[in-house]
Chains A and B, each alone.
Chain A
Amino acid sequence: QVQLLESGPGLVKPSETLSLTCVVSGDSMNINSWSWIRQSPGRGLEWLGYIYYSRSTNYNPSLKNRVSISVDTSKNHFSLELRSVTAADTAVYYCAGGVEWWYFDLWGRGTLVTVSS
């Protein structure tokens, strides 16, 4: 059974870069798309982007080129970078995986990232 686990700093200063990693354990051969999704406190879900078949990326246009997603298949993890963060980026960040990019079969536990000085 595939499991996902996010890790990274829980506190990031404004204007700095938020960096998170998602470790993938188990047989993930059927998972072709790796994504990041966030949820602001008490609010809904917001898709940040995905990497598909380890090479094709697509990001939410609302993030205005602040986001990057990469994958390290040899180490079984994928990563998120969100640059120039503000308090509005405070959220629980989930990594997710799917057979296809248009739905999310698997979710990590989520990690809370607070942007504050």
Chain B
Amino acid sequence: SSDLTQPPSVSVSPGQTATITCSGETLGKKYASWYQQRPGQSPVLVIYQDNKRPSGIPERFFGSKSGNTATLTISGTQAMDEADYYCQAWVISTVIFGGGTKLTVL
């Protein structure tokens, strides 16, 4: 399958840990990346190559992967983390995105 599956929504209380999963057969062999997209803004890379954090991304963003599932974990979630999150990988050389997860901090 060439799909990446994410939960449509995740809710978390401020200060708690948010966990967003991304499942797909390709993740068993290919790197996962994660993007944050706040309302009305462009996506921002927060994790690449499964668990690497670009400079400027807070340490509370953590990426991991096990088998066919990649996970984005946000510890000590803040109101500013409320956004849509997309996972991304590739199949052969075609880039694919997950459907996105809306993270609500309430």
- Please report A residues at the B interface, Cβ cutoff 8 Å: 35, 44-47, 50, 58, 60-61, 94, 101-105, 107-110
Contact = CB atoms under 8 A, between A and B. Distances in A.
B28 interface: no
Given A58-B93, A60-B94, A103-B33, A44 B42 contact: no
A103 B49 contact: yes
A106 to B, nearest CB: 8
Interface in B51-106: 54, 86, 88-90, 93-100
B96 A47 contact: yes
Interface of B: 30-31, 33, 35, 42-45, 48-49, 54, 86, 88-90, 93-100
Nearest to B100: A44
B61 to A, nearest CB: 15
A35 B93 CA distance: 13
A41 B75 CA distance: 30
A15 B37 CA distance: 31
B45 A94 contact: no
Contacts of B42: 94, 107-110
Contacts of B35: 45, 104
B33 A45 contact: no
A107 B30 CA distance: 22
Contacts of A110: 42
29 contacts: A44-B98, A44-B100, A45-B35, A45-B43, A45-B97, A45-B100, A46-B97, A47-B96, A47-B97, A58-B94, A60-B94, A60-B95, A61-B94, A94-B42, A94-B43, A101-B93, A101-B95, A102-B30, A102-B90, A102-B95, A103-B31, A103-B49, A104-B45, A104-B88, A105-B54, A107-B43, A108-B42, A109-B42, A110-B42
Contacts of B49: 103
Contacts of A109: 42
Contacts of B48: 103, 105
Contacts of B45: 103-105
